[in-house]
Structure 1
Amino acid sequence: MATVITDRSSDGSSPFDKDDTGLNRHVFIACMIAALAGLLFGLDIGVISGALPFIAKEFGLATHTQEWVVSSMMFGAAVGAVGSGPLSRKFGRKYSLIVASILFSVGSLGCAIAGNPEILIVFRVLLGLAVGVASFTAPLYLSEIAPQRLRGSLISMYQLMITIGIVVAFLSDTAFSYEGQWRWMLGVITIPALILFIGVLMLPRSPRWLALQGRHVEAKQVLALLRGCDVSAKKELEAIRESLKIKQSGWSLFKSNSNCRRAVYLGIVLQVMQQFTGMNVVMYYAPKIFKIAGFASTEQQMWGTVIVGLVNVFATFIAIGLVDKWGRKPVLKLGFLVMAAGMAILGTLLHMGVTTPVEQYFAAFVLLIFIVGFAMSAGPLIWVLCSEIQPLKARDFGITVSTATNWIANMIVGATFLTFLQVLGNAQTFWLYAALNLVFIFVTMALIPETKGVSLEKIEQNLMKGVPLSKLGRK
């Protein structure tokens, strides 16, 4: 049973009673610990970029083996994402995060001491399981403990922590690259993983999960702790109990209702679009791309990778500023256009030959423009749309399917890029991604709804009426 910690003065009043919707210290600490899972998520995405060249050299890896070292984590993440729903429902959000932190710790340490590529791939799959569980559970936990007024910003903080984790991984890789210490690159992630494990032990249970288990007294105690006000806790618990009357029946609804299937399929399409922009090719193989662009030294390649990560972080704020002003579709179309132009120009430069320093830096600049295009559009907005289009009774099922699709498509991208370079050539590979981004503009125009300012209930109502997908945001 949760222990209620109070912050009351000598007259019995609480500093939180005046504003029970605010961010008190209990909520803040809980959110920071949960968001640490996002940092680990980003660290494990970014770390392989700098480590791979040294791993390939030490073990003498062929192209396909390098691709499996990269993509094995995405395979594990897909499995973890599918299994995290049942795990989270049965054991709770807190214990799911504990499982993720243990997997992060064991996986990171195992990668660092791996004596051959096969063992390395096994532990990369283990890390993927951790990423899959964390990517499902941490945002869910945050949404269930955050005050309603701050829910969007706190979940956005989790997304921001992922991009920060990628940058930190790139910086760490750069620091260890001077002596080629790839084992330290992979193993140092054990430290934040252990911090996450210790921190999660101190977290309260999710009040929504407690209510789902019929443990209403404990749920009210946790809410009183998080809100600092018994009256507010009672009201919120009543709202939770009312919402739980809507039972999740995703699989049966998917089988019986064609409109539900449309939403799930659209979520799949959205995630495939996000991954086949080519963004994660840049994340996983940035040093390789900078080498292709003419930056010969390891130092240049690694610092170029750091700049990629920083641009990814700062460009995410463009999406935050535009999504509720311009809407989803305009920002997506602009982002796909920018990414198509970036990949097309980069491919053309590589086709003509990058020889002078001016050409090299222009190629790097074009790559960064591509990063901006992704971070301001498809990066965050695909996740927003996937959460908005699913009917309420099938929301858990639909989001689980779209999350698993994301990781499967991610794995395909990671497992094919080096092969494409060998078979198609450098320029043709980037032209291929440019063409895909152009196709995605037309897919956005034909299928993607504009959901700005439209309630989830209205979107669901339109979906179940059979309104065309592109018109689901119709008011």
Structure 2
Amino acid sequence: MRYEEDENIRTTRPTGESFMSAVSTPIATPAHARATAIFTCILAALAGLMFGLDIGVIAGAQQFIQKDFGISDNTLEWIVSIMMAGAAVGALSAGWLSAHLGRKRSLILGAVLFVAGSVLCGVAWTPGVLIAGRFVLGLAIGIASFTAPLYLAEIAPESIRGAMISLYQLMITIGILVAALSNAALSYTGSWRWMLGIIAIPGALFLLGVAFLPESPRWLMMRNRQSEAEQVLHRLLGSNDAIEREIGEIREQLKTPQRGVHMFFQNANFRRSVGLGVLLQIMQQLTGMNVVMYYAPRIFQGMGYATEAQMWFTVIVDLVNVLATFIAIGLVDKLGRKPILHIGFILMALGLGVVGTMMHLGIHSHGEQIFTVGMLLIFIVGFAMSAGPLIWTLCSEIQPLKGRDFGIGCSTFTNWAANWLVGVSFLSLLNGIGNAATFWLYAAFNVVFIALTIWLVPETKGITLEQIERNLMSGKRLRDIGR
């Protein structure tokens, strides 16, 4: 073997022998490799389960926390939203962590922090301690929300990449549903400490599962560990030609070292992809979905439902969220990203617009209650089938490899910063401009997002990450880089 070094990144290049003669590990059959790739992606996507559990559990626990500690709506907003502030900090550090520690070890660190934060929340003896525990949970989720989609994009074969990245969002929805079911069962006793603390158990199981994941072959190549990268690809691709092509494409990209910050200031095309990733995450957060996830019981209270009914209607919302995500998984690699986003934003604008109108007119009968809940579920379907999973998919696809850590780090930080803003302002909006105007505001955002999707968002179905990068760096319009 001969080693060639290009500045900070070295790549191993076999010379004097064919690629496959340098490989000693047996090649898996295509069917076995596909099954292995899917199983690996499922394990990594469980990071989303941790995220979903924490979103779901705080929605059900908050009214009992408020009653137990005797705190105001403003303090409650901070308990809910401080997790997003922690996640923003975690996302900022995740780029460095994933580049230096690797994708796998970053996920392990996130799992450890998640378990520690869950335990601290469960034993919190003051609102301040609870806020600290929620911040630790945020650090964990910020690291995982950056690393998991990045890892999935680098592990999944291109033919199923969209569906595999969408698994992350599916796991978020499943986590929210599981937490809602737990909250509903514990709501009769108001045991909010159990609601918050019990999620340490799935966190520990996730930690165990992550230990068995392979490292990303792209990251291994970046660290001059080509033989290990080849071994991972043997397990995931099952085709000599596919392995050789993948190694060649990665090696070609690594001729230029990864310098995200340097690229951002020196390369206008890279700034475009970073800007699009930031915009996409702002769009996702301003759809209003996390308002519903964090404050669903409060929303149902505004519709006239009692505490137990609020909890079980929240379960219904979360169940619909899970089921509708399968629409994205089933169609994202067939219909494409953009058509699904168009449909989703239309449904979300319609659903929230009608909910706001019903709250403006007044909900007086049981029939009106059910109709309003139905329109809220239309909104949930719109998000779960589109912006929920597909924004993460697009953000992981549009960034070039040499700046991917920086680009995804910027978009993930933006996601959590916008998430924090939504979480910390919703109750204040309700108390300030009223229920109807608040829902109309988010409906209007979704109308704007339809136009932005048409104007800026590319269709990336069925194209390799390497081709997307070539199109971006050649100066093509953003909406054309997937062609």
TM (normalized to structure 1)?
0.88
Output one character per residue of 1:1-39: Cα deviation in whole Å (capped at 9) or x when no partner.
xxxxxxxxxxxxx997443762456x5664444333221
Matching residue's letter, 1:398: G
1:272 maps to which residue?
282
8 Å Cα contact 2:159/2:462 also seen in 1 = no
Shift of 1:394: 2.4
Output one character per residue of 1:335-361: Cα deviation in whole Å (capped at 9) or x when no partner.
222211111111111111112111111
Cα distance change, pair 461–30 in 1 and its aligned pair in 2 (3 A): closer
Shift of 1:42: 1.3
2:344 maps to which residue?
335
Q: Which runs of 5 or more residues in structure 1 are unaligned?
A: 1-13
1:78 is aligned, of 88, 103, 115, to 88
Taking the aligned partners of 1:453 and 1:91, their CA distance within structure 2 comes to 31
Output one character per residue of 1:47-75: Cα deviation in whole Å (capped at 9) or x when no partner.
11101111111111211111111111111
1:22 maps to which residue?
33
Question: Is residue 59 from structure 1 mapped to residue 60 from structure 2 by the alignment?
Answer: no
Matching residue's letter, 1:80: G
8 Å Cα contact 1:328/1:452 also seen in 2 = yes
Matching residue's letter, 2:378: I
2:194 is aligned, of 184, 205, 222, to 184
Question: Is residue 263 from structure 1 mapped to residue 263 from structure 2 by the alignment?
Answer: no
1:354 maps to which residue?
363
Taking the aligned partners of 2:391 and 2:235, their CA distance within structure 1 comes to 34
1:140 is aligned, of 150, 153, 160, to 150
Output one character per residue of 1:128-182: Cα deviation in whole Å (capped at 9) or x when no partner.
1100111122333344455565544433333322211111111111111111011
Matching residue's letter, 1:70: V
Taking the aligned partners of 2:105 and 2:35, their CA distance within structure 1 comes to 23
Taking the aligned partners of 2:394 and 2:46, their CA distance within structure 1 comes to 24
Q: Which sits farther off after the overlay, 433-442 or 446-455?
A: 446-455
Taking the aligned partners of 1:248 and 1:140, their CA distance within structure 2 comes to 15
Cα distance change, pair 57–225 in 1 and its aligned pair in 2 (3 A): same
SS of structure 2 residue aligned to 1:22: helix
Cα distance change, pair 286–254 in 1 and its aligned pair in 2 (3 A): same
Question: Is residue 415 from structure 1 mapped to residue 424 from structure 2 by the alignment?
Answer: yes
Taking the aligned partners of 1:95 and 1:107, their CA distance within structure 2 comes to 18
Taking the aligned partners of 2:391 and 2:176, their CA distance within structure 1 comes to 19
Cα distance change, pair 258–87 in 1 and its aligned pair in 2 (3 A): same
Q: Counterparts of 1:107-256 in structure 2 under 5 Å? A: 107-146=117-156, 150-223=160-233, 240-256=250-266
Shift of 1:119: 1.0
1:344 maps to which residue?
353
Matching residue's letter, 2:282: V
SS of structure 1 residue aligned to 2:30: coil
Taking the aligned partners of 2:45 and 2:78, their CA distance within structure 1 comes to 28
Cα distance change, pair 211–268 in 1 and its aligned pair in 2 (3 A): closer
User: RMSD between aligned alpha carbons?
Assistant: 2.8
Cα distance change, pair 274–158 in 1 and its aligned pair in 2 (3 A): closer
Question: Is residue 387 from structure 1 mapped to residue 396 from structure 2 by the alignment?
Answer: yes
Question: Is residue 448 from structure 1 mapped to residue 457 from structure 2 by the alignment?
Answer: yes
Taking the aligned partners of 1:359 and 1:128, their CA distance within structure 2 comes to 38
Taking the aligned partners of 2:340 and 2:212, their CA distance within structure 1 comes to 40
Taking the aligned partners of 1:395 and 1:308, their CA distance within structure 2 comes to 34
Cα distance change, pair 325–221 in 1 and its aligned pair in 2 (3 A): closer
Q: Counterparts of 1:5-20 in structure 2 under 5 Å? A: 17-19=28-30
Cα distance change, pair 157–385 in 1 and its aligned pair in 2 (3 A): closer
Percentage identity across paired residues of the two chains = 59
Question: Is residue 87 from structure 1 mapped to residue 97 from structure 2 by the alignment?
Answer: yes
Matching residue's letter, 1:399: I
Taking the aligned partners of 2:105 and 2:330, their CA distance within structure 1 comes to 35
8 Å Cα contact 2:162/2:332 also seen in 1 = no
Shift of 1:86: 1.0
2:22 maps to which residue?
none
SS of structure 2 residue aligned to 1:115: coil
Cα distance change, pair 427–445 in 1 and its aligned pair in 2 (3 A): same
1:316 is aligned, of 315, 322, 325, to 325
Cα distance change, pair 216–436 in 1 and its aligned pair in 2 (3 A): closer
Q: Which runs of 5 or more residues in structure 2 are unaligned?
A: 1-24
What is the aligned length? 459
Shift of 1:222: 4.9
Cα distance change, pair 34–275 in 1 and its aligned pair in 2 (3 A): same
